[in-house]
Structure 1
């Protein structure tokens, strides 16, 4: 009769569990040694150049101008203020780009599934061409081959709605507050509070009783009614639309967008919108066909089927990859340096060139991009948790 040796009798050099622990310890030691060598080499290099790892240089005068700034800035401001300008410019392009890319992506994704052959082919051509072309090439194209080739301000291209295009940028109408604006804007807050309260109350009532109300219409009426009523009661409109007017060699009034910012925004929107379109298409196709057929059998229109049946279910598939596209758009904005837009990467590069503080500047830049990505992921994960399917 043979006996099976116990686990204690296995030598440690043949015990899989012990070997795994030893391998992990060796791996950690190797990583720590490599990190120690890199840090030691970096500190030695900084010492030879009389540089440190501190951030005290941020309080020094920057001494350089920034061509476009979303916040007030002068060359006499500090490096920290210049760095904030880069962050503000990046946020400006990223937030607007996310909104526009989402709208374009939804439209293109739905259009690709259209039964109309022409609409479907146009959407497919747009998606395939844009997705398979590098973003940097597209940005250079929009800037050099489109905006810089536009006529001067004197011969600017006029579009409907008092919109003008020239090689100096895009000039748009812009609302401007009057003297009565201070008395009017609180009514906008009142309308917003009423709309939110009505939406929450009607949603709870529907969940409790099963009876539905037109929440969108009711919330919209409550949102618009207080400011509209206040607008009518005021002797002067609180907001006037200021139109751009050509005076001499430039435009006055309205708002102007530089060619660099417009090219960046257009490139990010068109590029990311193509990827979002495929995500939307995949999300819609993930909804069982029986859901659409059942909705049609109830007499719902095509738009109602999309809004009430398909999209609420497709969002569970769309949101996770959509988050990745939002993160990519924010990080891809660093390519703005190729067309001269002073984003975070471009301003940080100027600060590095003037101070020589490579490690602190790169650390700040990486930390900023990381923070923006984590905040975006957090917000999208919160929304994803609200729309996900809860199984019992």
Structure 2
């Protein structure tokens, strides 16, 4: 037990693990075989997502439509902002193996330091959170996704809000939005803090800056065209899939095939109702649980949610569990989330179980849906108490 506690409280070891996994995932992708998305289709690298990000920079500076199909170069569409394409140029100009590795290291390190700097969590608890999300982190990095970066930015925003550093908080929030638009949901956290005027003008400053950045390399006509093209892509993206989401769960478990908008609206209303408890805004546990609600909501109500997206939800599950007093019900849900969300896509389960049960019935999403429901109940009716640290473990920190 003492050895485990030393490992959990010595975060240098955990940082080494995070960086080592980033390098491992990068090399695994880089040296992976070429593959196609359809039988007999065009062959793409195993790190296709990184190629999409990389090529977006060159499409931007060459005056092309970022959101068009480039079948000869990449196996999917670019869906992020023009600003993301510009900033990614820092990595795009490097050899693939270097840029890919640095990209995954960035994701891992940002998430690590975001957890490391969480306010009012002990070193041991932070270590537990770092361990809890590490498998999902590896999944995200093996797919060269930006989701670990987004999870880290959400946590950094929360830490900055707690310290009333609104310039940094709004910077982290706007960064998520210009990577993936669903980051806009985290604006709801602003309601929990004083200084609304400062939050408003700091956010407006970063929005203006992030929006205008592409003008460094494109003219005004192309600038307007790109944002219109991005808007068209996002508006036409809603009906493409059900994803590992509430919508996918309702469809696969109950045969529901209604309008997705109704589910999204119902989810949004439920999400907002706890905000009516204004007197609870001064309670740290309430604020932490609302952060957890944001991080899980943006995944389970995202019709395009994939397995690599769940690093964000896993972070929310960890914040929910480790920010309040432990209960048996919460512990059971935590174990379910780890087994059936984090481990479900791995080789721990036989392939036929994953293909015949887990994938068709979106099992990966179900524990997170249950946890989000429990968070909602906690926010609405729960007696919120901060986590009680084991006295012996605390003394060993």
TM-score range normalised by the length of the shorter chain: under 0.3
More strand by share: 1
Larger-Rg structure: 1
Task: State the structure with bigger RCO (CA 8 A, min sep 6), 1 or 2.
Answer: 1
